[in-house]
Chain A
Amino acid sequence: MESCLNIINKDEANNFANYLACPSCDLLFDVSMLADGESARCSRCGNFLTTYRTNELSHVIAYTSSALILLALACSYPFMSFKSNGLESVMTLPETALRLLSNGMPTLAFLVAAFIIIIPALVVVLILGLSVALKLERHYRWLRPAGKLVYHLQNWSMVEVFFIGVLVSLVKIGHMATVIMGASFWSYAVFSLFFVLSLSSLDRVQCWRRIGALQP
């Protein structure tokens, strides 16, 4: 559902809590009139602005805690195993980075670990912390920096890109050996689903409005 919004003259926008500048073109909108489930788009450049949901925080807490458990599982079991001529080698998720390290590429190892494990984990922990604090209506000084970090880091999580990488690897080696997907593969797949759900359920603008309302 898309709602028609009032465009605000820059001089009238004294009460910042209800006003929102389009992140693409800086046009100001009043977003305080949205009903449960309604979304808004910028009328000038078409950029998505916000969706308002009354019970979004409970959903976000459920999604993020499930995601954390799944990521812990994904890091502790074999991801894939490879069998050829009676020999077998097994790979875990952290090993995709650790083997690069033992091959003398510490920078690349760090980037891979950051893109597929560290950044996604950090984003999930930050969202969980934020939504628990907002649900309890407690104000902490770290709320604003945590919110900024979540929206800055989410573009750097590459869980879905990694899955395409897994698919390509399967095609590349499928002809020379038997490849078996382990428990970690499935946990990581479900993790990626909950990760996307956590991010899409916590609306950026509504998050700022809730933080703003808590400030003394």
Chain B
Amino acid sequence: MHVRKANSMERTLALLVTACVLYIPANLLPIMITDQLGQPTESTIIGGVVLLINMGSVSIAMVIFFASVMIPLSKLAMMFYLCWSVRNGPPETVRQRTVLYRVTEFIGKWSMIDVFVVAILVALINLTNLLVIHPGGAAIAFAGVVMVSMLAAESFDPRLMWDQRDGKDE
């Protein structure tokens, strides 16, 4: 048998709040600075999505939108709901909630796509004086959001939800 995770609920909630706070600079700061012929242009996460749509790559824009906006926000919402449901959730939905937990565990790391795009472009595009790309502050803030929310999913113990049901069975 596996040892239960200690103080699961408190740790999970603290990490979720941290992720929410980090999500603000992740969206306000630039994620990437393109320096073309000495003219720097900053772009944010949302700005990058808009740029891709204007370029006509709607499907890739959707990939980034899902990875950087939909996944982190819905993951945070799902984790808050799961924490709330340990005490107050309807016991008959515990099976569905366990599946929901497996989903939050699985989708978390896919949010890192945009951070990897920045890392790749910074490394690849380095034509001195002509075209250079620098990473912006949002890259580290966003990597923080992904990491902290993955830690939150890891510290949540889905067996707490079954304990509540088992308690009512007896």
A binds B: yes
Tell me if A168 is interfacial: C-beta within 8 Å of chain B. yes
B: contact size bracket:
35 or more
Cα distance A103–B105 in the bound complex, in angstroms: 32
Tell me if A76 is interfacial: C-beta within 8 Å of chain B. no
Over the window 87-121 of chain A, the binary record of Cβ atoms lying under 8 Å from chain B Cβ atoms (1 yes, 0 no) is 10101100111111001010110011001100000
Inter-chain contact A108/B139, CB cutoff 8 Å: yes
Beta-carbon contacts under 8 Å, B124-166 to A: 124-127, 130-131, 134-135, 139-140, 143, 147, 150, 154, 158-159, 162
Residues on the B chain within 8 Å of A21, using CB: 1-2
Residues on the A chain within 8 Å of B126, using CB: 89, 99
Tell me if B20 is interfacial: C-beta within 8 Å of chain A. no
Residues on the B chain within 8 Å of A168, using CB: 60, 63-64, 113-114, 117
User: Assuming A23-B2, A105-B135, A155-B154, is B110 touching A165 (CB within 8 A)?
Assistant: no
A: contact size bracket:
35 or more
Tell me if A178 is interfacial: C-beta within 8 Å of chain B. no
Task: Point out the residue from A82, A97, A161 that lies within 8 Å of B124, measured CB to CB.
Answer: A82
User: Assuming A47-B98, A96-B119, A155-B150, is B57 touching A171 (CB within 8 A)?
Assistant: yes
Tell me if A186 is interfacial: C-beta within 8 Å of chain B. no
A-B interface, 8 closest residue pairs, ranked by CB to CB distance from nearest? A165-B116, A25-B162, A91-B124, A99-B123, A91-B123, A21-B1, A96-B119, A95-B123
- B-contacting residues of A (Cβ < 8 Å)? 16, 21, 23-26, 28, 44-47, 80-82, 84-85, 87, 89, 91-92, 95-100, 103, 105, 107-108, 111-112, 115-116, 155-156, 158, 161-162, 164-169, 171-173, 175, 179
